[in-house]
Amino acid sequence: MDVLSDVIAVMRTGQPRSARVVWHAPWAQRFASVPGCAGFQVILQGPCWLVSPDSDPVSLTVGDVVFLPRGQGHALADNPSTPVTAPACEPNDPQFLQRYATATVGEPLGTYGPTTVTLCGAYELDPARAHPLLNDLPELIHLPAHLGRHPELCATVDLLAAELERPRLGTDAIVPALLDTLLLYILRTWFDEQPARGATTGWAAALNDPAITAALRAMHRDPARPWTVATLAAEAGLSRAPFARRFATLVGQPPLSYLTWWRMTTAARLLQDSDAPLSAVAHRIGYTSEFAFANAFKRQYGTAPGRYRRAA
């Protein structure tokens, strides 16, 4: 797997949720903060405003995508001056989604003013397996819809909107796949734009650095290999000392520290998602001794692997 796909596969849990919502002005809806979830809003029709507690209102138009990596509370409204009278709601709440998905088929929300259609939803993330990449993201990412600027992202939004508006055979399988695709395109778009914004450190810079990306890809592709700083530097095409400095500067920790963290994170996923014996899990991430693996795992998660699995 490439690094970004691997990170999402490890962090994601449960099924993504979404709903297509039709609003008639005047309207204002508050979305409560949802820890452990990454939320999104996509504007499918008509303008609206994003109202966030820590910033000025942002005007949104058709095709705009708003992504909240840590589920920050926010509101959408037809106008920043419209009172937010609706109760708090959570995008990952099945009752919320059922209520608003039903509203899109029946009578739209609001009165009979100008119409806005939005796509709202959330991805469940496991905080125990949160990748530092996520911590580098801002609380709110706004990707404006510039004509031709994000063709893959726009195409995914169009496909998702069509499936939700006109469900057909296979929709139940197609929608989760498109939601996963939407998440990857949102993150890819944001990371691709960072070099133009002057990002020189952090994961945005690391994922746009060919040498560091090569080393990260090698670790993710084969975490069980007995990597050293020298062998990782060879993957990166750099000598040992410059590679170690560059990696630590961009990623925020030394190469072997990241490797250990990734091995333990991978082990946690295997313990939760499979019934492989502990010896097999240890071998999969590069430990020949089950005892050594258990000690390393306990240092990171504060509990033994077997107990972690039972709790999960």
pLDDT tens digits, 249-290 = 999 999 999 999 999 999 999 998 899 999 999 999 999 999
In the prediction, which pLDDT does 198 show? 67
Q: Record the tokens describing residue 246, joined without a space.
A: 């560059």
In the prediction, which pLDDT does 8 show? 86
Residue that the structure tokens 């050594």 belong to: 292
Domains in the chain: boundaries: 3-197, 209-311
User: DSSP class of residue 108?
Assistant: P
Among 83-97, 184-198, 298-312, the least confident range:
83-97
65, 42 in Cβ contact below 8 A? yes
Between strands 109-110 and 17-24, the pairing is parallel
Mean pLDDT of the chain: 86
186, 153 in Cβ contact below 8 A? yes
pLDDT tens digits, 143-200 = 998 756 788 998 999 999 899 888 899 999 999 899 999 999 999 999 888 876 767 7
Average pLDDT of the segment spanning 104-133: 75
Q: Determine the Cα–Cα distance for residues 162 and 174; give it in Å rounded to an integer.
A: 11
Angle between helices 240-251 and 255-273 in degrees, nearest 10 = 60
Give CA separation, 67 vs 40, 60, 280, 289, in Å: 4, 13, 38, 42
Q: Which residues are 110's β-sheet partners?
A: 24
Angle between helices 240-251 and 229-236 in degrees, nearest 10 = 80
Q: How many secondary structure helices (H) and strands (E) does the chain include?
A: 13, 10
- In terms of Cα–Cα distance, which of 71, 211, 81, 60 is closest to 127? 71
Q: pLDDT band at 92, cuts 50/70/90? A: very low
61, 76 in Cβ contact below 8 A? no
Output the pTM of the full model: 0.82
Pick the residue with more confidence: 304 or 31? 304
260, 285 in Cβ contact below 8 A? no
- In terms of Cα–Cα distance, which of 152, 39, 38, 29 is closest to 99? 29
- Exposure of 303 in the CB half-sphere (CA atoms within 13 A): 12
Q: Determine the Cα–Cα distance for residues 260 and 1; give it in Å rounded to an integer.
A: 18
Q: For the domain bounded by 209-311, which CATH number is listed?
A: 1.10.10.60
- CATH, domain 3-197, list 3.90.1150.10, 2.40.110.10, 3.40.50.2020, 2.60.120.280: 2.60.120.280
- Residue 223, preceding peptide bond in cis (omega within 30° of 0): no
38, 16 in Cβ contact below 8 A? no
